[in-house]
Amino acid sequence: MPLNSIRVLDLTRLLPGPYCTMLLADFGAEVIKVEDPKIGDYARAYDPKVDEDSALFHSLNRNKKSVCLDLKSEEGKAAFLGMVEKADVVVESFRPGVMERLGLDYEHLKSINPGLVYCAITGYGQTGPYANVPGHDINYISFAGLLNLMGEKDGKPVVPAAQIADIGGGAYPAAVGILLALFERESSGKGQYIDISMMDGVISWLQTALPNYLSQNSAPKRGEQVLAGGLACYEVYETKDARWLSVGALESKFWKAFCHGIGRSDFIALHQAALHEQHRLKYEIQTIIYQKTLEEWLEIFSGLEACVSPVLTFEEMMEDPQVMAREMIQTVPHETAGEMEQIGIPIKLSETPGKILRQAPKLGEHTKIMMEEMRTSGTKG
């Protein structure tokens, strides 16, 4: 596996950091969760549980090991510093200044291991007036201007069902930053500090809205953006059986096929009509879509390339042939629960694919083994 030689010390909890290190662990990195001896990762306590830990914890922490250290104690610090000597990467998600107060900041760690790649994931980054301000996903997407654009015209902003800042703004940029730093280390032999701000990451996502504002100084409005409710060809419509049909007919050829599918070829010319006309068009299309069930519409569009899809439930998604073909839901063994289903690996490598090899560790499961290795081996395990 591509990261077999990489050892990662993971001090993070909950979602952003563990998702980042899960990506690394799925491709062979030895990820060692360094957890508080009393409570460990807070995500362990969430419901529902599988065995003694939460389903969320099992999903995010597969393929990892767990070592319990009290980083506020001299003994715990000494053990952690010993682990740093043999590590390639440290990932943490404390507020700025916490690691420095513990005496475990990057400047200290790199004096022990100059090749160390150190990644800090925080809400607002290490600098700026918000650096020490607490927050969660909803706060980061608010400051980034994204939440203001989400929802229907004249309605309130709609909170997304997935954590955009945590994963898209934090976890993925952190993983990319770590890999970039490891790649650079191949030539320089030196590690470096990676400062990941989840708010920064969300702002970088605004590629279809923000550049237009920067160039034209015209602020986008909620529900009026091309890809966020402004166009009839890119919308969700309710069916007769109270289900939903998504339409993504942005290109003229797809829009033409869609219009033929609903029996309104006269709509073809209105593809890029003015905004007020788009609202009227959406109303008329909704009236038409409401006349048939979801299954009936899917049958009509099955032979047409119109970018029309059903809005699936989780149950339906898991049975979808594309999801099954891509192995995005996998059944993996668990020593006490028997078998459990987990989210698959989204990055597909042809020669060295990622794998789910081990279940999530129990709290402190590998403490004794790792401490013994430090005493006797001096090599990466």
> Tell me, what's the pLDDT at 338?
82
Q: How confident is the model at residue 219 (pLDDT cuts 50, 70, 90)?
A: confident
Q: Two tokens at 158?
A: 């709609």
Catalytic entry in 108, 136, 260, 279: 136
Residue 327 has pLDDT above 50, yes or no: yes
Residue of 137, 166, 200, 271 with catalytic role: 166
Tally of CA atoms within 13 A in the half-sphere of 132 that contains its CB: 3
Question: Which of 27-41, 218-232, 349-363 is least confident?
Answer: 218-232
Question: With contact defined as beta carbons under 8 Å apart, do 19 and 60 qualify?
Answer: yes
Q: All domains of the chain, ordered by start, with CATH?
A: 7-205+349-376 (3.40.50.10540), 223-344 (3.30.1540.10)
Q: How far apart are CA 160 and CA 158, in angstroms?
A: 6
Q: Over range 25-48, report the average pLDDT.
A: 96
What's 169's DSSP letter? I
Chain centroid, CA 268 distance in Å: 37
Q: Identify the band that residue 164 occupies on the pLDDT scale cut at 50, 70 and 90.
A: very high
Q: For the residues 144-155, what does the mean pLDDT come to?
A: 92
Q: How far is it, in rounded angstroms, from Cα 180 to Cα 183? A: 5
pLDDT given for residue 378 in this prediction: 54
Task: Say which residues have a Cβ less than 8 Å from residue 108's Cβ, sequence separation at least 6.
Answer: none
- Among 113, 114, 117, 119, smallest CA distance to 86 is for 113
Residue 11 has pLDDT above 50, yes or no: yes
CB 124 within 8 A of CB 203: no
Confidence of residue 373 (pLDDT cuts 50, 70, 90): confident
* Residue 136 annotated to the active site: yes
Query: What is the rounded average pLDDT for all residues in the chain?
Result: 94
Q: Are 25 and 64 in contact (CB under 8 A)?
A: yes
| pLDDT score for 379 | 46
Residue 120 has pLDDT above 90, yes or no: yes
Dist. CA 138–CA 341, nearest whole Å: 28
**pLDDT confidence of residue 127:** 97
pTM for the whole structure: 0.93
**Helix or strand (DSSP H, E) at 330:** strand 329-334
- Does residue 366 have an active-site annotation? no
Query: Which pLDDT band, with edges at 50, 70 and 90, does 271 fall under?
Result: very high
Per-residue pLDDT tens over the stretch 234-268: 999 999 999 999 999 999 999 999 999 999 999 99
CB-CB neighbours of 25 under 10 Å: 30
